[in-house]
Amino acid sequence: MKKISVLASFFLVTAVFGQKVSDYKYISVPEKFKDFEKDSYGLDTALAKALTTKKYTVVRGMKEWPADVKENPCRILSANVLNASSFLKNKVLIEVKDCNEKIIFSSKGTSNIKDFKEGFQDALKQAIITVPVSYPSETVLAVVKAEPVAKSSVSTNDTSASVPVSENKSGKYSNGKWNLQKIQVDNNQFILADSGSSVPFAVFKTSSKKDVFRVKLADGSYTIGYFENGNIIIDMPQSNGEFSKEVFSSK
């Protein structure tokens, strides 16, 4: 019976994180989109306003995270607007990702208006049309993200085995350039996040070696990280193919 219970929990979690954008209540919109750092053309404000009209609770930066999102960051999605323009047309692409950086929704908008500000604003309006209205799923609101437990480690007579659960473990770390907050997602995963961004700086997942983690960086690259004397160390990939030791000290 315990094996069935554990497997059922795993499939429940798997199903939740394959759900639609409309199943979620919260969406994070950054202060600036990477493709529009020099001039935002008001796209961040326009997207936040449009999502609000579609009944989403829009969050701008980690400082605004509601208590239930701080408890489990997988309850919030992150939205981004990409510049997909061609030679003659202003185009934008809205992407919405879950806590695992998986794109669960995207929509492209095109405008014939040549002026950048008016054109991008018009393209965004077209892209927003297909964004569904928020209708939060109770499963998404209640779920605690968990990693699957290997079948071989669970006995039918084992009454103590359980799927790892979320813990409220957090702390602040800095390397002098980035000030980050550690958010414990569950026993097997934590995030280092910048309060000014909706995208995690780095996502850490356990490996087969204690205190050594597989790390996915914000740019999509992979590396390793580990604990050392209370600090978090990341082997940061360099353009020449080498790695540098980046030390994030506990504050």
Residue 152, pLDDT above cutoff 50: no
Query: Quick check: 13 and 143 in contact, CB under 8 A?
Result: yes
Give pLDDT tens digits for 70-124: 878 888 899 999 999 988 899 999 999 988 788 999 999 999 998 999 999 999 9
| Phi–psi pair at 239, nearest 5 degrees | -65, -20
Position 199 confidence tier, pLDDT thresholds 50, 70, 90:
low
Average pLDDT, stretch 49-57?
94
Angle among Cα 237, 100, 104 to the nearest 5 degrees reads 125
Give pLDDT tens digits for 155-194: 333 333 333 333 334 588 998 888 888 888 777 888 888 7
- Per the model's pLDDT, the better-predicted residue between 164 and 236 turns out to be 236
Look at residues 144, 141, 134 and name the one whose alpha carbon lies nearest to residue 21: 134
Look at residue 185 and give its three-state secondary structure: strand
Average pLDDT, stretch 216-233?
88
Residue 126, pLDDT above cutoff 70: yes
Give me 185's structure tokens.
């997602």
Expressed in angstroms, the distance from the first to the final Cα of the chain is: 45
Handedness of CA 103, 57, 215, 20 (dihedral sign): negative
Q: Residue 43: its pLDDT value, please?
A: 94
Helices (H), 106-145: 116-128, 138-142
- In the chain, the amino acid numbered 10 is F
- The set of residues, in sequence order, having a beta carbon less than 8 Å from that of 143 and lying 6+ positions away, is 12, 13, 16, 72, 74, 75
Q: Residue 7: its pLDDT value, please?
A: 36
Element holding 222 (H helix, E strand): strand 222-228
Query: Quick check: 94 and 74 in contact, CB under 8 A?
Result: no
